[in-house]
Amino acid sequence: MHFKTVALIGRYQDSGLDAPLRKLADTLHAAGCKVLIEADTATNTGITEHTVADYQAIGQQADLAVVMGGDGTMLGAARQLAVTQVPLIGINHGRLGFITDIPLHSANDALASVLKGNFEIEERMLLESRVVRDDEIMFSGVAVNDVVLNRAGRGGMIDVRVELDGVFMYSQRADGLIVATPTGSTAYSLSANGPIVHPQLNAILLVPVAPQTLSNRPIVLPDTGTLSLTINALGRVESGASVHFDMQTWSDCQPGDRIDVRRAQHTVRFVHPTGYSIFSTLRRKLYWNHMPQPSDEVE
């Protein structure tokens, strides 16, 4: 057996999640797997008949983590487990679901097939970033999708100096800047007219959000360098700026702060059923080749 101990992680805020999670647990138990339930998931769904484990224990014991929810749930689990290299498989119980790519209605069949060895493992890069003020690190974090510098509230544009490995690129006045991984190219970056980048490319995207100069375009950079975003000035005295590391936020940015972003040392390992294709996911989620109909399934 490839996966002897399997952890279940759910978006426990969803009502009715306990039933499909229990069904997955039954599938795993029938296949001879030991089942772990992530602690917050167990508390909020009432599933306590299996071993309850926090992320540290999951990282030490699990051979596989099954994440049921949306991409946000997967992002949180991926950041927690990347350092331990526990592979993750995503069951879509959310809306769009680019990285939770298995539909809920086929989850049990897909998982049963994976347990029999019919799977592929894909590694994807993460970003690590820090906010530096007067040589002091004020905040640091990792991101699977993106690191985003943007204006806070209704303040004016942010004036940012951008460098790659200390080499000046440009100064930018914009509502914000997105630094994204290929995985994150289908997230916020996509809505800001950034390119879709194949997840196996070693690249970092830099995408402006509502730039003042319309000639400022997204640019794809090598993943071997460090991007530095220095806040020259905020648009108005009462304006503010914040940095988002996926769903983690540092909201006390000041003029002179520098945000350093580079590829993280660790990768995230995703498990897909045999036959997985990123292009199939893009066709389905972005309605390539056909217009959405009222009868199309909303995820």
Residue 289's nearest CA partner among 298, 280, 297 is 280
Q: What stretches of the chain show up as alpha helix (H) in DSSP?
A: 18-30, 39-45, 55-61, 71-81, 107-115, 188-191, 278-285
175 annotated as a binding-site residue: yes
Please tell me whether 248 is known to bind a ligand: yes
**Binding residue per annotation — 188?**
yes
Q: What angle do CA 250, 214, 285 make, to 5 degrees?
A: 65
Amino acid of residue 68: M
Consult the annotation and say whether 11 binds a ligand.
no
3-state secondary structure of 252: coil
Of 71, 101, 246, 257, the active-site residue reads 71
Q: Report whether 186 belongs to an annotated binding site.
A: yes
To the question of whether residue 31 is assigned a binding role by annotation, the answer is no
**CA–CA separation, 77 vs 54, rounded Å?**
11
72 known ligand binder: yes
Please indicate if the annotation marks 165 as binding a ligand: no
The reply to whether 264 sits in an annotated binding site is: no
* Catalytic annotation present for 71: yes
Instruction: Report CA-CA distances (Å) from 113 to 31, 93, 107, 119.
Output: 11, 20, 10, 8
Residue 192 known to bind ligand? no
DSSP H helices in 82-178: 107-115
Q: Considering only CA atoms, which of 248, 242, 267 is closest in space to residue 140?
A: 248
- Mark the binding-site residues for NAD(+), compressed into ranges: 71-72, 145-146, 173, 175, 186-191, 210, 248
Which amino acids are annotated as binding site, given as ranges? 71-72, 145-146, 173, 175, 186-191, 210, 248
Which residues does the annotation mark as catalytic?
A: 71
